């Protein structure tokens, strides 16, 4: 997108117009928030409302339809109470990955703990171990690894936060602090092989075996 700032301001104004005081938080996550977006990258707004029922989702859908960028818009939408009750491992990644653009007076995103970060590492590693082993045994479709390696980058990032206390949003910067295996995981490839599958499986399995991964 050539003018992201202009788009985000228009989006914020539309949210404010349609939801008024029910709009509690608006931000952007994903590659645009990290400064790593390409021309065809998705736009990932994070919208937190006082309520998020059928009525609000219909209003939001109409808002999305009013933008010519509609096909690029993904993101996350929830009520404040839904976000508060969200899986804490998933929530900590959402919060850390989001660049705030508007916060209503008196509202704060939920906080997170070091245990939440460790849980995010463990859950991510478990999901990867299952997905990659299933691919090795059954699908044997190495292009599925593209999505699995993409998911693994977020686990690398949370592992680095857990181990160092330092959150690095951009994956290219994170690669400067990674070990050799993690550098391979963070690298983007056009094609993947069975060797890549075993690399990812063994790395994720070690994290699972270690529990929280702390020594």
What range defines the domain where residue 64 resides? 4-103
pLDDT at 214 over 70: no
**Which domain-ending residue is among 103, 127, 161?**
103
**Does the model's pTM come out above 0.85?**
yes
Question: Distances in Å between the alpha carbon of 85 and those of 88, 124, 157?
Answer: 8, 19, 24
What average pLDDT is seen over the chain? Answer: 95
Average pLDDT over residues 190-210: 97
Q: What is the pLDDT of residues 41-87, one digit of tens each?
A: 999 999 999 999 999 999 999 999 999 999 999 999 999 999 999 99
Residue 214 lies in a domain: no
Count of the separate structural domains present in the chain: 2
**Which domain-ending residue is among 103, 134, 161?**
103
CA distance 155 to 132: 14
Residue 215 lies in a domain: no
CA distance 22 to 101: 16
What is the reported pLDDT for 215? 42
Residue 46 lies in a domain: yes
The CATH code of the domain that includes 91 is: 3.30.460.10
Closest CA to 183 of 172, 169, 195: 172
């Amino acid at each position: 997108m050539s003018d992201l700032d202009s788009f985000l301001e228009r989006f914020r104004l539309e949210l404010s117009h349609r939801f008024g005081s029910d709009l509690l938080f608006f931000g952007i996550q994903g590659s645009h928030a990290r400064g790593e977006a390409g021309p065809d990258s998705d736009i990932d707004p994070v919208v937190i409302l006082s309520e998020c029922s059928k009525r609000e989702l219909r209003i939001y859908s109409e808002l999305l339809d009013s933008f010519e960028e509609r096909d690029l818009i993904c993101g996350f939408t929830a009520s404040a109470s839904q976000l508060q009750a969200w899986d804490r491992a998933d929530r900590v990644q959402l919060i850390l990955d989001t660049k705030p653009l508007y916060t209503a007076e008196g509202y704060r995103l939920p906080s997170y703990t070091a245990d939440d970060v460790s849980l995010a590492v463990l859950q991510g590693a478990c999901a990867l171990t299952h997905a990659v082993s299933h691919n090795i045994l059954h699908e044997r479709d190495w292009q599925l690894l593209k999505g699995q390696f993409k998911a693994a980058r977020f686990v690398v990032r949370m592992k680095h936060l857990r181990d160092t206390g330092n959150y690095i949003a951009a994956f290219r910067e994170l690669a400067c602090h990674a070990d050799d295996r993690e550098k391979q995981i963070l690298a983007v490839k056009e094609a993947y092989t069975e060797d890549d599958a075993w690399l990812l499986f063994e790395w994720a399995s070690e994290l699972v075996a270690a529990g929280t991964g702390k020594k």
